Structure 1
Amino acid sequence: MVTRVATYTNHTLLSDLALRNAARVTDLQNQASSGYKSRNYAGIADSTQRLLNLETEYSRTEQYLRNTTQGKLRLQSMETAVDSMLTIATEMKSLLIQASSAQQADDVNIRNEADQALQQIANLLNTNLDGRFLFAGGRSEEPAVDIEKIGAPDNYISKLNTSVTTGATLASLGVTGGAGGVLQIVSTDVDGNSTTSTVAYNSATDDIGDIMDAINNVTANRAIASLRGLGGEGPPLLNIENVGNGSITITETGTGDFLSKLGMEKMGNPRPDADYYMGDHQIMDLRVDDKYDVSYGILGDNPAFQKLVQGLGIAASTENQDALTVALGFINDAINELPNVQGQIGLDIANVERFEERHQDFKVFAAQAITDIETVDVPLTLAEVSQYTTALQASFISISRAADLSLANYLR
């Protein structure tokens, strides 16, 4: 076909329309097959900046959701551990009441039950999630609790119902024997190394302060003497205990009767200073939103845990009824305080979930917005393909018919 000057404009217009229809058909076919409007940003130039902003916010939201999921899992694990502690404490309270009221400490095997409960508490405080010890504060790579130290240390303690002062003379306490009394103290550390020391006293002239000074001033001795109540509470009593977590044995030679007159009994007497705790006091922060952190977590030296450990430590070391009453008091306090710990963890979980829900809502919105920008409605696109294909075919027919136009054909 030869394009004439007279038909050039018409031919060019029809060819341009056909080419545009062909390009549009090809573009729509690609969209229908891939589901996307374009394979690059150039194809959606008018929406590119909005898409980039949405994708950035979407990625940031996903990271926050990962943070909240991880934090919530940690808090839920802590909540479960504390709930188990409360169950153990309640069961031990029942056993202690049974042993105390019926004078059946031997029958219920209270010492063995308390020792097992103590080990369970230690394991719960060492709860680990993904290599992180949850109750250890910032030192999460190390166990929160030294199981070897959670038991009550060996300790000799004077009569529970008689307070003692440093100025109380041995004679006023009924000690006899004059200058012939000798205490022999054997202390053994956790590695089995032992030392032996002797403390001589004169019941006629010495007082409790003199005995304490004599014990504490023996440099080779691994024992210390102090005045404090059982478990740190109650009237002051004379305590002679091993330094650290080893064992101690005290015997008496000579003519004195210091041990018997003061009623010195060997039983566990845990200090109220959470010596078992190996972590630090750093409260963890969780980034849950732009410029917003949630502080969360409970430390292993929490007072509620300390009291539970103290009560169980005493119950695990003696069957003395007065001591078991003290132990019951500590466990009762722990039972009263542990729900507060649970409540704090619950508040932390609720706080994290509040941000988690917000981010989930935004993620759904952003995902839909990104989809609306990037993708096409395939059925609708296929309908458009059909329409443009028809138009393209019509363009080809028009071009073909225009090529047949001539003066001879017109005159005919």
Structure 2
Amino acid sequence: MRVTNKMLSNNFLRDMRTNLTNMSRIQGQMTSGKQITKASDDPFKSSRIMQMYSDIDSNKQYNSNINNSINWLDTTDTALSHVGNVVGRIEELLVSSGNAAYGSEQRQAIKDEVNQRIQEVSQILNTSFDGKYIFGGTDGTSKPVGTGKDGSGNDELIRSTNVVGKPIDGKMIYSGITVGLGATFNISLNGGVPITVTTTGEVESGTTTMEQAADILQTSINNAANLPIKQGEPGYNEVAKVKATADGAFNITPSGTFTFSDSSVIPPAPETTAAKDLGLIEVPDKLLVEVSQGVTMDYNITASQVINYGMGANENLMKLLGNITKHLDAKPTDATYADDIKALTNADLEGIQKVMTNVLKLRSEVGAKQNRMESAETRNEDQNFNMTEILSATEDIDITEKTMEYATMQTVYMASLQTSAKVLQPSLLDYLR
């Protein structure tokens, strides 16, 4: 076969283009530090690299979730520590109230301090972190606990229901689901047999004020609950007091003694949801956080867990503190004076000790959650390190290797230039005589 100058020229250009392409590829890898600059370079590796980036980004978010949860738990532990200090001080005061030498003046001084401690407990249970009340559960935008005055003028803790109002033109307007006239729900006192309440008016979302809604609830309860709670005791209508608060909730006192539930009507009518729509049923209180793929943890303690220190209907911190101030108010002329003074160092003291035990139990629970979060954080960091190492091995270049390859390709390119310059030296002029 005859080899012509044209064939030599074409071969040279083709080889030169190949050499330049290889040099450009290696040069691009060296300047970017990556083996792949576009998906078509290696579709399999490209897919794996994108998946690794997605996994690393997810892991970083999990780590952020864990860190926020740890900070939340630290704040919770500190708050519970303060609750323990307050309860410990109340215990000391109850022990001292049993001194036979103490009279009404000394017990009045103790009562004044207990009232201040009640205010302090309320402040602690309303501790906020990152704009949310840490003991508020899933309803973290409203105060879980407030304070008010009982019939004797003593301070008492008040547990609000869910927030169902929002301010419009200076008024709190009901913003829950509209509940019509004749809707029903159940009310129960201290876990007793529930009775059915029928609403006496419509509570319309965006129109009815919280005060109007509270009046409707009060009237509805009064109408349905006029029978005595027990033989010789007043009816619900004389006990349950409904008020609307400035933060858009219904306070139903005595706090912590009433529970609400939806009532089922006779089929085929659907189950009513009035209690839920009015915000009388507490929403799930557990805050959940995802710490790894498909793994969630709860990380909060609620005000109810602090307030309800036992399973009994009377084992309630709000009720206990109310009893303590009531017993400290006892006068020698009262018929129950001896029983009230005895209760201070018996039932009341025992109750406070149970509260302290409950606080310690909750702190141990918080500590266990902190340990689990810290373990999750360690695993997360290890996983992130491993995935980053795998990504680097898949995506990054070996700079020493690529430098050698580039030097080799540069030598090949220069050799091809020199060779082609010598091979193609003859021209037509060389054959003219």
TM-score, length of structure 1 as denominator length: 0.61
Q: Corresponding residue for 2:41?
A: 43
Q: Matches of 2:101 and 2:285 in 1, distance apart? A: 44
Q: Corresponding residue for 2:52?
A: 54
2:352 pairs with 1:350: no
SS in 1 for 2:289: strand
- Kindly indicate whether the alpha-carbon contact (under 8 Å) linking 1:25 and 1:389 is maintained by their aligned counterparts in 2: yes
Alignment match of 2:344 (pick from 319, 324, 338):
324
Distance change (3 Å), C-alpha of 1:139 and 1:282:
same
SS in 2 for 1:95: helix
Post-superposition offset of 1:142: 1.8
Q: Corresponding residue for 2:402?
A: 381
Distance change (3 Å), C-alpha of 1:8 and 1:81:
same
Q: Matches of 1:334 and 1:49 in 2, distance apart? A: 57
Supply the AA of the counterpart residue of 2:30. A
Post-superposition offset of 1:85: 0.8
2:284 pairs with 1:282: yes
Q: Matches of 1:154 and 1:143 in 2, distance apart? A: 25
Q: Matches of 1:153 and 1:323 in 2, distance apart? A: 20
Q: Corresponding residue for 1:28?
A: 26
Q: Corresponding residue for 1:145?
A: 145
Q: Deviations over 1:206-225 (max 9, x none)?
A: xxx9xx95x948x9xx966x
Distance change (3 Å), C-alpha of 1:332 and 1:11:
same
Alignment match of 2:295 (pick from 292, 297, 306):
292
2:317 pairs with 1:333: no
2:322 pairs with 1:301: no
Q: Matches of 1:145 and 1:365 in 2, distance apart? A: 46
- Kindly indicate whether the alpha-carbon contact (under 8 Å) linking 1:61 and 1:363 is maintained by their aligned counterparts in 2: yes
Supply the AA of the counterpart residue of 1:389. Q
Q: Corresponding residue for 1:81?
A: 79
- Kindly indicate whether the alpha-carbon contact (under 8 Å) linking 1:74 and 1:129 is maintained by their aligned counterparts in 2: yes
SS in 2 for 1:147: strand
Supply the AA of the counterpart residue of 1:304. Y
Q: Corresponding residue for 1:371?
A: 392
Post-superposition offset of 1:272: 6.6
Q: Matches of 2:117 and 2:344 in 1, distance apart? A: 15
Q: Matches of 2:121 and 2:405 in 1, distance apart? A: 70
SS in 1 for 2:137: coil
Distance change (3 Å), C-alpha of 1:153 and 1:80:
farther
Question: % of aligned pairs identical?
Answer: 18
* 1:204-215 mapped onto 2 (5 Å cutoff): none
Post-superposition offset of 1:334: 1.0
- Kindly indicate whether the alpha-carbon contact (under 8 Å) linking 1:82 and 1:338 is maintained by their aligned counterparts in 2: yes
Supply the AA of the counterpart residue of 1:367. T
Runs of at least 5 residues in structure 2 that lack an aligned partner in the other structure: 155-227, 244-253, 260-279, 331-340
Supply the AA of the counterpart residue of 1:324. L
Runs of at least 5 residues in structure 1 that lack an aligned partner in the other structure: 157-208, 225-241, 246-269
Q: Corresponding residue for 1:273?
A: 257
SS in 2 for 1:365: helix
Supply the AA of the counterpart residue of 1:140. G
Q: Corresponding residue for 1:396?
A: 417
Supply the AA of the counterpart residue of 1:399. S
SS in 2 for 1:304: coil
Q: Corresponding residue for 1:182?
A: none
SS in 2 for 1:137: coil
Distance change (3 Å), C-alpha of 1:102 and 1:369:
farther
SS in 2 for 1:122: helix
Distance change (3 Å), C-alpha of 1:124 and 1:155:
closer
Let me know the Cα RMSD of the aligned residues. 4.2
Q: Matches of 1:32 and 1:80 in 2, distance apart? A: 53
Q: Matches of 1:127 and 1:155 in 2, distance apart? A: 25
- Kindly indicate whether the alpha-carbon contact (under 8 Å) linking 1:279 and 1:300 is maintained by their aligned counterparts in 2: no
Post-superposition offset of 1:47: 0.5
